[in-house]
Amino acid sequence: MRIRHLGPADLDACTRLAISRQWGPERHKWALLLDVGQGYGIDAPDGDGLAATNILTRYGHDHAVISMVLTAERHARQGLARALMEHALEQAGDRTVSLHATEQGRPLYERLGFRTVGRVAKHTGVFAGEPSGATRPATGDDLGAILALDAETFGTDRSHVLRRMFGFGVSVRVADQGFGHCWRNDTDVVIGPVVARDLATAQALIGDLALDAGGEVRMDLDLAQEELVAWAVAHGMGRPWAVSLMVRNGSLPGDRTRQFLPFMQALG
């Protein structure tokens, strides 16, 4: 089966495949990733949609993320996921590559040279808190400072993705040496990225973003940040579901102590 590029015209087929595997459609996420990244897919030989997909998103010249790794159930265990992963890794070149892996996907990634460097858990709930008074809504005039802080903290260039926050998301907020963003995904609102100088600033940004969104929100929390996890749980974030953060060909860039929530945890 031939690997081909995926684009906006494949959005319906991507969401159909996701639904068939008991994922949410995540149409908003697919649309963004297919725009800022490079989608790869294999068409089903029976002509019924896509047999398998993934997306490679490059950050600068030294990092890339693979996400949306899906195979139709009727085409499972035929080597399609591995073929697409090998293709994406070839396109990534010498970059360090990271992904979030389910337990089902982790053995394949280990065979391809990935190693687990952490655990991230999705927490959802209705945030219970009050406005912090320490953040404000961001404007276009804040974009330069946001991009500079992110480049310093993340260790590579994510500007082509972060420039989309104002149009893609529900809310963008800034604080002294911090920024945060939230965006709608199916039935809830996802908070991230959140970059901040310290835990208190991150909590202020996360809480205010959750209050902006109203209703149920989602936070993808690094389980190594135990204080942040405990704070989120105490403020109504429950039902955790954990996945592995994996890396190949190097180490994660930047200062992870100031990276409190990812832009989007796109599973593999």
Q: What is the C-alpha radius of gyration for the chain, rounded to an integer number of angstroms?
A: 18
Per the DSSP assignment, residues forming a β-bridge with 125 are 217
The structure's pTM equals 0.95
**To 5 degrees, how large is the angle CA 96–CA 100–CA 105?**
105
**b/e per residue, 172-189, with b = 16+ CB within 10 A?**
bbbbeebbbbbbebeebb
Mean pLDDT rounded to a whole number for the chain: 95
pLDDT tens profile 42-65: 999 999 999 999 999 999 999 999
When pLDDT is cut at 50, 70 and 90, the band that residue 265 belongs to is: low
pLDDT of residue 183: 96
Per the DSSP assignment, residues forming a β-bridge with 41 are 4, 53
pLDDT of residue 268: 46
How far is 184 from 208, CA to CA, in rounded Å?
16
Contact 243, 100 (CB under 8 A): yes
How far is 149 from 130, CA to CA, in rounded Å?
26
How far is 23 from 29, CA to CA, in rounded Å?
12
When pLDDT is cut at 50, 70 and 90, the band that residue 263 belongs to is: confident
For 121, the enclosing helix (H) or strand (E) is strand 115-126
| Every domain of the chain and the residues it spans | 4-94, 122-261
- Do the domains spanning 4-94 and 122-261 agree at the CATH topology level? yes
Options 1.20.58.390, 3.40.630.90, 1.10.760.10, 3.90.930.60; which CATH number does 122-261 get? 3.40.630.90
Nearest Cα neighbor of 177 from 158, 155, 192, 199 is: 199
pLDDT tens profile 56-114: 999 999 999 999 999 999 999 999 999 999 999 999 999 999 999 999 999 999 999 99
CATH topology for the 4-94 domain = Aminopeptidase (3.40.630)
Rounded to an integer, the average pLDDT of 235-249 is 96
